[in-house]
Amino acid sequence: MKNTIYAGIFLLLVACSGKKQADKKPEVKEQKEVTTKTVDKALNTEVDKSGMVYFEGGKITIGSDNGQPLESPMFEMEIAPFYLDINLVTVAQFRKFIQATGHKTDAEKYGDSGVFDFQIGNWQLLKGTTWEFPLGPDQPKAEDNHPVTHVSWNDAMAYAKWVGKRLPTEFEWEYAAKNGGKQTGKYAWGDEVIMGGTYMANTYQGEPGPNPEALDGYLRTSPVGAFGKHPSGLTDMGGNVWQWCANVFEPYPGNTASPPAQQNVKSTRGGSFMFDQARDLSFTTTFRAQNSDDTSLFNTGFRCAL
């Protein structure tokens, strides 16, 4: 039976139609995109670094003593240099992988995937739901420039290997979200979800219920990068979709209150367009969530590292 540990506690499916354009986002200082290539000797393939940001690595403080229990206690970690995709992996990119490899996702193997039905107020495993049909087979196809969803950790790992990359650890993810420690705000872009009257990410607005306000311009996923780049040069490092990370979810050193790690439970970061009980805290650079490695949901995607 499919082992599902839902990322965060979700109470409501964000409604289905009527998107409108979000306000123009304020400009931020960005790092220069990398446009070179490297050869991965282990895979004997040329890995394309274009569309990635390089982080020099270094010592950083992980976690927060003012956040959720799973974010504490804070501790220092040395991060090795790495690259991270500017954008989330899109539907169009994932389709190329499927066409080239014939990969069958976990959602296709199980015959269903997780969607929250706000009318019944609960998650359901909706038959026929896949990365290509995120709301079911009788609903429109996923848009090419939106982040791919309904992909498990296993699927994300397979895609990453195919492109010669890997998933980031949650510690690399946090390092990048904090712009290598230079970003001191709560979020990857600053201290508030709304800055200068403008929403900085695709987040949930309003109370849990059947009528989300969609004040940020999007009811579900948004095109990758729609809210502009953060100071790090990355996009969507908060909101839009949860992001799979490479590592097993386990308590931070010194945290004795959390249950022990399970090898099939992986870390997710970043929050999503969906309501979460943690509300705006779910979009912070330090918030942690988790899911079993075969679980796929309508609000979880990924990006790659190198």
Indicate the pLDDT class of residue 193, thresholds 50, 70 and 90.
very high
Q: Give pLDDT, residue 2.
A: 56
Q: Residue 3 pLDDT > 80, yes or no?
A: no
Mean pLDDT, range 246-275, rounded to an integer: 95
- Give me the helices (H) in 29-119, please: 91-101, 106-110
Mean pLDDT, range 269-297, rounded to an integer: 96
3-state helix, strand, coil in the chain (%, to 5): 15, 20, 65
Distance from chain centroid for Cα 234: 12
Task: Please give the DSSP secondary-structure letter assigned to residue 134.
Answer: T
Q: What is the pLDDT of residues 128-178, one digit of tens each?
A: 999 999 999 999 999 999 999 999 999 999 999 999 999 999 999 999 999
Q: How far is CA 262 from CA 18, 244, 245, 259, in A?
A: 41, 16, 15, 9
More confident residue, 120 or 130: 130
CA–CA dist 126, 139 (Å, integer):
12
- Residue pair 74/61 in contact by the 8 Å Cβ criterion: yes
Name 169's Cβ contacts closer than 8 Å, sequence gap at least 6: 245, 246, 247, 267
**Cα–Cα nearest to 93, from 46, 85, 297:** 85
CA–CA dist 234, 236 (Å, integer):
7
Q: Give pLDDT, residue 159.
A: 98
Q: What is the pLDDT of residues 216-234, one digit of tens each?
A: 989 899 999 999 999 999 9
Q: Give pLDDT, residue 45.
A: 53
- Residue pair 134/31 in contact by the 8 Å Cβ criterion: no
Percent of the chain whose predicted confidence (pLDDT) is above 70: 85
Residues linked to residue 248 through DSSP beta bridges, in sequence order: 266
Q: Which two tokens stand for residue 106?
A: 């976990």
Name 256's Cβ contacts closer than 8 Å, sequence gap at least 6: none
More confident residue, 162 or 275: 162
More confident residue, 40 or 100: 100
Q: Residue 34 pLDDT > 50, yes or no?
A: no
Q: Which two tokens stand for residue 124?
A: 């359901």
Mean pLDDT, range 297-303, rounded to an integer: 98
**Cα–Cα nearest to 294, from 244, 242, 251, 250:** 244
Q: Residue 22 pLDDT > 80, yes or no?
A: no
Mean pLDDT, range 170-196, rounded to an integer: 95
Q: Which two tokens stand for residue 304?
A: 């790659």
Q: Residue 44 pLDDT > 80, yes or no?
A: no
CA–CA dist 190, 178 (Å, integer):
10
91-101 vs 153-162: helix crossing angle, rounded to 10: 80
CA–CA dist 274, 277 (Å, integer):
10
pTM to 2 decimal places: 0.86
- Residue pair 305/167 in contact by the 8 Å Cβ criterion: yes
- Buried b vs exposed e over 123-143: b needs ≥16 C-beta within 10 Å? beebeebbbbbbbbeeeeebe
Q: Residue 255 pLDDT > 60, yes or no?
A: yes
Q: Which two tokens stand for residue 68?
A: 């959720």
Please name the fold of domain 37-301: paralog of FGE (formylglycine-generating enzyme) (3.90.1580)
Task: Please give the DSSP secondary-structure letter assigned to residue 97.
Answer: H
Q: Give pLDDT, residue 6.
A: 42
Average model confidence (pLDDT) for the chain? Answer: 87
Q: Give pLDDT, residue 64.
A: 95
